């Protein structure tokens, strides 16, 4: 005969509390004092308590079927410093759209708040968030790379997007830039392109922790055992199409990997060469495209993932700056487009 499973009722009897208190404490619910939570967890560990996987699965199933009651508010924090307008960027608009939908699913409202609004200070912002019962925040990408933000994080759960916030280091959701670039490079090789050039804005590289460039260099050097045959182009690509056109004419790549998702419009001078003699691929497409081939990041999904991570942190009672921030990397989806030669048949 097997040993009797230790239940939450057993833990409650030893701890001298109601079973509901044990249930909430083991979920790290903020409504249970931290000292009580620690005491109950220690007793549960000593008794050898472990959740019943079948009951947990049933509870999760019932939770998914039940309409979510209103839980409170979440904040979409934006920083308009220097006239920065976050929703000019399609990826960021999609983060927000996905976040709004997913927050509603969990029973939360998502309220947009500008950190740089007139008369705003960290102290006043903290008071506003408390008054509006906002328990967690999503930080939109910052105006510049390597930004530092002073804020009363200790009372909030927080998740950010990408790499533009250098300090503090928070839990982060971002596209898997490295994997997406590797996918593009291997698609180019598979389709017979060998002289592959890299054309990215320097600012784009900095904002993404140079993950695109790192993947390109690793793939090029791993394939040939030497430095890239085509010098890397990192300049103000968006401002000056002439520079990248001159670079192409001078170094004659047969393919380009670029972060410029308007590349086909900017390189019309080469349209009679695309895709047979000049392939163009983008690892950071904001949407599915009939024209440009590459990886579609699916930023709406990333907004959903970020809210799931934030709500989980709230439910665990995780507040403040984490000692070990987690990075959730979301791999994109291949978009065939028309700017690459057809892939060889698999048969």
Condensed to tens digits (0 to 9), the pLDDT of residues 177-228 reads 999 999 999 999 999 999 999 999 888 999 999 999 999 999 999 877 778 8
Residues 151 and 50 in one domain: no
Residues 192 and 250 in one domain: yes
* Res 2 pLDDT > 50: no
List pLDDT tens digits, range 53-95. Answer: 666 555 555 555 555 555 689 999 999 999 999 999 999 999 9
**Residue 25, domain member (yes or no):** yes
**Residue 150, domain member (yes or no):** yes
Residues 181 and 280 in one domain: yes
Residue 140 tokens read as 């939109």
Residues 40 and 113 in one domain: no
CATH of the domain at 253: 3.40.50.2300
CATH of the domain at 41: 1.10.260.40
**Residue 204, domain member (yes or no):** yes
Residues 17 and 99 in one domain: no
Q: How confident is the model at residue 143 (pLDDT cuts 50, 70, 90)?
A: very high
CB count, 10 Å around CB of 52?
12
Helices marked H in 16-115:
19-26, 34-47, 53-65, 90-106
Residues 289 and 308 in one domain: no
**Residue 342, domain member (yes or no):** no
Contacts of 284 (CB under 8 A, 6+ apart): 91, 175, 177, 180, 212, 259, 261, 294, 295, 297
Contacts of 149 (CB under 8 A, 6+ apart): 79, 115, 139, 142, 165, 167, 168
Buried b (16+ CB within 10 A) or exposed e, 186-215: ebbeebebeebbbbbbebbbbbbbbbbbeb
The total of structural domains in the chain comes to 3
Residues 316 and 234 in one domain: no
Residues 12 and 158 in one domain: no
* Res 148 pLDDT > 60: yes
Residues 114 and 144 in one domain: yes
Cis preceding-peptide flag for 185 (omega within 30 of 0) = no
What's the whole-number mean pLDDT along residues 140-169?
A: 93
Residues 25 and 136 in one domain: no
Q: State the chain's mean pLDDT as an integer.
A: 88
Residue 188 tokens read as 């180019």
For residue 86, give its domain range: 72-175+300-330
Are 319 and 137 in contact, with CB atoms under 8 Å apart? Answer: no
Residues 190 and 209 in one domain: yes
* Res 40 pLDDT > 70: yes
Are 313 and 170 in contact, with CB atoms under 8 Å apart? Answer: no
**Residue 1, domain member (yes or no):** no
Residue 57 and residue 288: Cα distance in Å, rounded? 36
**Residue 219, domain member (yes or no):** yes
Residue 307 and residue 202: Cα distance in Å, rounded? 30
**Residue 341, domain member (yes or no):** no
Q: How confident is the model at residue 34 (pLDDT cuts 50, 70, 90)?
A: confident
* Res 345 pLDDT > 50: yes
What's the whole-number mean pLDDT along residues 20-27?
A: 83
Residues 111 and 212 in one domain: no
Are 303 and 330 in contact, with CB atoms under 8 Å apart? Answer: no
Are 196 and 257 in contact, with CB atoms under 8 Å apart? Answer: yes
**Residue 345, domain member (yes or no):** no
């Amino acid at each position: 005969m097997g040993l009797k499973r230790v239940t939450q009722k057993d833990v409650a009897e030893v701890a001298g509390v109601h079973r509901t208190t044990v249930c909430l404490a083991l979920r790290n619910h903020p409504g249970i004092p931290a000292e009580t939570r620690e005491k109950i967890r220690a007793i549960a560990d000593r008794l050898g308590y472990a959740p019943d996987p079948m009951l947990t699965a049933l509870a999760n199933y019932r939770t998914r079927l039940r309409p979510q009651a209103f839980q409170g508010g979440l904040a979409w924090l934006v920083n308009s410093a220097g006239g920065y307008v976050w929703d000019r960027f399609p990826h960021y608009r999609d983060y927000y759209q996905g976040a709004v939908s997913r927050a509603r699913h969990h029973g939360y409202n998502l309220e947009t708040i500008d950190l740089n609004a007139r008369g705003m200070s960290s102290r006043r912002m903290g008071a506003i968030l408390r008054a509006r019962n906002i328990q967690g925040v999503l930080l939109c990408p910052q105006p510049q790379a390597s930004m530092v933000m002073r804020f009363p994080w200790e009372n909030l759960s927080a998740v950010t997007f990408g790499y533009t916030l250098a300090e503090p280091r928070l839990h982060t959701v971002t596209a898997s830039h490295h994997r997406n670039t590797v996918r593009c490079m291997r698609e180019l090789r598979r389709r017979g392109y060998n002289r592959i050039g890299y054309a990215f804005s320097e600012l784009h590289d900095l904002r993404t922790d140079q993950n695109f460039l790192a993947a390109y260099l690793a793939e090029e050097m791993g394939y040939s055992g030497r430095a890239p045959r085509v010098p890397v182009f990192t300049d103000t690509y968006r401002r000056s199409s002439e520079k990248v056109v001159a670079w192409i004419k001078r170094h004659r790549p047969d393919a380009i990997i670029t972060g410029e998702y308007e590349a086909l419009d900017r390189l019309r001078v080469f349209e009679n060469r695309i895709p047979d003699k000049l392939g163009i691929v983008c690892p950071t497409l904001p949407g599915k495209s009939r024209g440009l081939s590459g990886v579609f990041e699916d930023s709406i999904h990333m907004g959903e993932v970020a809210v799931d991570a934030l709500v989980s942190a709230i439910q665990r009672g995780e507040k403040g700056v984490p000692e070990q921030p987690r990075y959730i990397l979301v791999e994109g989806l291949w978009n065939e487009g028309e700017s690459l030669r057809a892939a060889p048949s698999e048969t």
